[in-house]
Amino acid sequence: MNDVDMNSDLYNIYVGMDDTDSASGMCTTYICSVIMDRLKACGFRVDGPPRLIRLNPFAPHKTRGNGAVSFKLVLKSEEDVEIAKNLILKMVNELAVMEDPKTNPGVVFYEGEVTFELQDYALRTIRTIVTQEEAEKLAEKVGAEIFKFKKGRGIIGSLAAIGCPLTDATYELLAYRDPANYGAKRRVDPESVLEMNQETYPDTFDNVDDGYMAITPHTPCPVLYGIRGETEEAVVKAHEMVKVSEPIESFRVFLTNQHTDLHLQKIDAISIMKQFQCYIVQGTVKTQPVVIEGGHVIFTLEDESGGVECAAYEPTKEFRDVVRNLAPGDQVEVYGGIGNKGTLNVEKIKIMDLTPLYEYLNPLCKCGKRMKSAGKGKGYKCPQCGNKIREDSEKNGEVKEINKVKERREIERRIKTGFYEVPPSARRHLSKPLVRG
C-alpha cells in the first residue's frame, strides 16, 4: 500500500542503505551522497538531511564504525517512485564494493509513518545483536520492501536507519575527496583546524585531540574529513574555515545519532550484563586497578548481584591515569560495553564517592623524633634518644596492636569525584562527550 499524502498527493518514501563498503575502500555515506545528487538532478525531492545512524559498536560483521544511512524522498507519482527506486538500486549495484566477500549490501524502501515497532527494532539494533531473519520478518510485517545484494545482510542496518528515533541528535559534515586521491595522504592544514576549533568549539567538537587535528580518518575511504557538531550551521561554518591543498569533490551534512549515548542501557545489576551490549551501571571498585601488558588498566567492579572486569585500554591514553588511581571501596558509575572477552570497555566514568585511604607511619617518640623499626616483631627504637617501644606495648593497661601504635594518616587522593571521559581519538561514535552535557 502506498502512503499517499491526501492533501498533496505526494509519496513519502524512506530509503535505507547499508553494508556497501569494505575495509579496502568506499563508504556508505559517500554512496548515499552520490545517489542523492543523482536523484536531485533527475528532479526528485529529498526531504531534509540524510541520516547517518550508528548501530551496535560490537556487531560482528561491521567494517569500521557500523554506520547505516537513510533519507526521505517526496515524490509526485507512482511512476516517479518506480524510477527513483530503480535508479537507487542500480547505483548501489554499481558503487558498492561487490567483489569483497564481506560486503553484502541491503536497501530498504518504506512508505508510511515510522511506527513504534520500527523504532523499537532500531534501538535493539543499536543496543543488541539482531538477526537478518528478524529484520526480514519485520520488513514484511510493516510492508517495507527489501532488496538484497549477495547475502543482503545490509538490510539489518538499512531498516534500523529508517526506524531510529532521534530525540537527541548531532550533525556531521563529511567532505569527500577527488577519487584520484583515494589512499594518498590527506592534505588538510592542521593549523586551520586548530583555528576552526578555537572559533567553533563547543558548537563543533572532537576536532582536536591532545593538540593534534582529529578530523581526518586513517583509512583509504573517500572521506577527506568529518566535522561533528550541534547544528548544521555550526558544521558548515567550521568546514568553511578548514584549509586544504587537495580538491574537495563534494560535501554532505548528515543528521546523526552519533554522540548521544543511544547505545547505552541503564541497568541496576551487574549480573544482567550481556556480551556485545553497552551499559551504564553503578558499583563499588573491588580490586586495586592494575596495569597489564600493553598498558591497559584493569579493575573489578562489583555490586550485590556480582562483579565485572573493567578495562581502560591503551588507546584511552591519559584517561587510564584516572582509572589507575581508583581504589577498592570507591563508588562509581561506569559507561561502556562488554566486548568479546567479557570485559567492560570503559568509555566514561562518574566517580561518585572516593573512599578514604590511609597510610601508617612509625610512631613518634616522646622526644619528637619518628621512631625506626627495631626489626620484624621487635617494635620501634628512637634513633635520637634510644627510647624503645614494643609493638604490643602496654599503655594504660591496654595492649596496643601494631596499627594502633603506628600513626594513621589519611592519604590525599589523586583524583576527584566527577565525570571523566576517554579522549576524542578513542571515543566511540555513539559516545556522548561531556561537553554536550
Residue 157 binds to ligand ATP (criterion: CB under 6 A)? yes
The SS3 of residue 93 is helix
Q: Please, which residues have CB within 8 angstroms of residue 100's CB and are 6 or more apart in sequence?
A: 22, 23, 24
Judged by CB under 6 A, which stretch of 55-63, 166-174, 223-231, 254-262 contacts ligand ATP?
55-63
Length of the chain: 437
For position 65 contacting ligand ATP by CB under 6 A, the verdict is yes
105: left (phi over 0), alpha (psi -120 to 50) or beta: beta
Distance in Å, CB of 17 to ligand ATP, minimum: 9
275 vs 123, 194, 343, CA distance in Å? Answer: 17, 39, 8
Q: Judged by CB under 6 A, does residue 25 bind ligand ATP? A: no
Nearest distance, CB of residue 115 and ligand ATP, angstroms = 19
Check residue 55 for interaction with ligand ATP (CB under 6 A).
yes
**Residue from 426, 247, 256 nearest 336 by CA:** 426
Q: Does 63 bind ligand ATP (CB under 6 A)?
A: yes
Q: How far is the CB of 247 from ligand ATP (least distance, A)?
A: 22
Phi, psi (5° rounding) for residue 416? -120, 165
From candidates 25, 49, 62, 265, binder to ligand ATP by CB under 6 A: 62
In whole angstroms, the minimum distance from the beta carbon of 242 to ligand ATP comes to 22
The smaller minimum CB distance to ligand ATP, of residues 63 and 260, is found at 63
Residue closer to ligand ATP (CB basis): 27 or 281 = 27
Least distance in Å: CB of 436 to ligand ATP? Answer: 21
Residue 277 in the binding site for ligand ATP (CB under 6 A): no
Measuring CA to CA, which residue among 216, 121, 221 is closest to residue 165? 121
Does the protein bind ligand ATP through residue 16 (CB under 6 A)? no
Contact between 156 and ligand ATP by CB under 6 A: the answer reads yes
Q: Give residues 80-139 in contact with ligand ATP (rule: CB under 6 A).
A: 104, 125, 129-130
| DSSP-derived secondary structure for 384-409 | TT--EE-TT-EETTEEPPHHHHSEEE
Q: Nearest to residue 141, comparing CAs of 121, 158, 165?
A: 121
Residue 67 interacts with ligand ATP (CB under 6 A)?
A: yes
Is residue 64 part of the contact set for ligand ATP (CB under 6 A)?
yes
Name which of residues 305 to 364 contact ligand ATP (CB under 6 A): none
Which residues sit opposite 68 in a β-bridge? 53
> If binding is defined by CB under 6 A, does position 18 make contact with ligand ATP?
yes
Contact 216, 228 (CB under 8 A): no
Mapping DSSP to helix (H, G, I), strand (E, B) and coil, where does residue 320 land?
helix
Q: Does 50 bind ligand ATP (CB under 6 A)?
A: no
Residue 235 touching ligand ATP (CB under 6 A): no
Q: How far is CA 228 from CA 112, 177, 190, 419, in A?
A: 30, 18, 16, 22
Is 56 a residue that touches ligand ATP (CB under 6 A)? yes
Placement of cell 499517499 in the chain? 4
**Shortest reach from residue 151's CB to ligand ATP, in Å:** 8
Residue with cell 572516593: 354
Shortest distance, position 53 Cβ to ligand ATP, whole Å: 10
Cα separation of 420 and 184, whole Å? 36
Interface contacts to ligand ATP, rule CB under 6 A: 18-19, 21, 27-28, 55-56, 59, 61-67, 104, 125, 129-130, 153-154, 156-157
